[in-house]
């Protein structure tokens, strides 16, 4: 079982993980256990403050050292040996390979920042890894934590149904998905591609692989550069490109 501790000022946001969908099912099946730790519980003054003004001035507030450290220590005690992963815009961009490594751990602590961030000394003293989920600005680290948790959880053995897990280790890994269709055969005069109605499974497989390769070439050429292509794949992509450029002229 994967044990995850989350340090956050907004524990209720993690009900989204525990109460809905594949992650809730993984919690029920005891594939993962989530415990939440709130620095507010370690605030000392009458206002239960967890933030303070930045030294040097300027806008915004900074998360205080003491309450956050106390929460991290509480999480470390509950999860012996766990490393602490901070979600922050300054972190390394999370990729699927990182998610796979993290999902194989026995335990980890996730730290969600709020306000302008943590006191830097806390990062030096307690944080092992820093991760970002992409180049856009969130209001805090919680949604980034939830993204990471969601991506990890679906990789846990037994988390997906049979149909879903077949896809997880697809030969189309590293490519964008092919187009999907369901009933009816015609909508507003638009037909389902004929090959999908043919019952020819070899032809269907080749069509899907070709579409996946073609769409990746069109939309995410960076992904193709990172992925070696088999002889069959190279041929299918050449066909797609030929048809595509013919259709353009
Ligand atoms: C507007 C405030 N910014 C001043 C330059 C700094 C800033 C502080 C805190 C920007 C965002 C945040 C909150 N974001 C996260 O905690 C966060 C995040 C993100 O914003 N984008 C992508 N990944 C992540 S992981 C954590």
| Neighbouring C-alpha atoms within 13 Å toward the C-beta of 223 | 17
Q: What is the pLDDT of residue 246?
A: 85
Contact partners, residue 56, CB within 8 Å, separation at least 6: none
18 CA from centroid of ligand 1 (Å)? 24
**pLDDT means per 10 residues in the chain (249 residues)?**
98 98 97 98 97 98 98 98 98 97 98 96 98 98 98 96 70 92 98 98 98 98 96 98 86
Does residue 39's CB lie within 6 angstroms of at least one atom of ligand 1? no
11 CA from centroid of ligand 1 (Å)? 18
Does residue 132's CB lie within 6 angstroms of at least one atom of ligand 1? yes
Q: What is the pLDDT of residue 162?
A: 82
Q: Atom 3 (ligand 1): residue with closest C-alpha? A: 116
Q: Which of 6, 13, 89, 142 to mutate to test the pocket of ligand 1 (most atoms within 8 A of CB)?
A: 89
Name the pTM for this structure: 0.95
Q: What is the pLDDT of residue 178?
A: 97
- In the chain the domains, ranked by start, together with CATH numbers, are 2-153 (3.40.1280.10), 170-248 (1.10.1270.20)
9 CA from centroid of ligand 1 (Å)? 15
Does residue 54's CB lie within 6 angstroms of at least one atom of ligand 1? no
32 CA from centroid of ligand 1 (Å)? 27
């Amino acid at each position: 079982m994967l044990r995850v501790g989350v340090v956050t000022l907004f524990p209720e946001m993690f009900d989204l993980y525990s109460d809905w969908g594949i992650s809730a099912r993984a919690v029920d099946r005891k594939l993962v256990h989530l415990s939440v730790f709130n620095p507010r519980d370690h605030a000392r003054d009458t206002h239960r403050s967890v933030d303070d003004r930045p030294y040097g001035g300027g806008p915004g507030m900074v998360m205080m050292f003491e309450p956050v450290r106390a929460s991290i220590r509480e999480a470390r005690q509950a999860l012996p040996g766990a490393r602490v992963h901070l979600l922050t815009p300054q972190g390394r961009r999370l990729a699927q390979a990182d998610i796979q490594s993290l999902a194989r751990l026995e335990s980890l602590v996730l730290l969600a920042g709020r306000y302008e961030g943590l006191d830097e000394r806390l990062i030096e003293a307690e944080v092992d890894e820093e991760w970002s989920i992409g180049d856009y600005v969130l209001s805090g680290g919680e949604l980034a934590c939830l993204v990471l948790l969601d991506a990890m959880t679906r990789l846990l053995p037994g988390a997906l149904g049979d149909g879903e897990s077949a896809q997880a280790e697809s030969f189309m890994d590293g490519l964008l998905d092919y187009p999907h269709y369901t009933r009816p055969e015609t909508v507003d005069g638009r037909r389902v591609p004929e090959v999908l109605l043919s019952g020819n499974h070899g032809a269907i497989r080749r069509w899907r692989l070709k579409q996946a390769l073609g769409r990746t070439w069109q939309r995410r050429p960076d992904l193709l550069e990172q992925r070696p292509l088999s002889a069959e794949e190279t041929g299918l992509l050449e066909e797609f490109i030929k048809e595509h450029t013919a259709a353009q002229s």
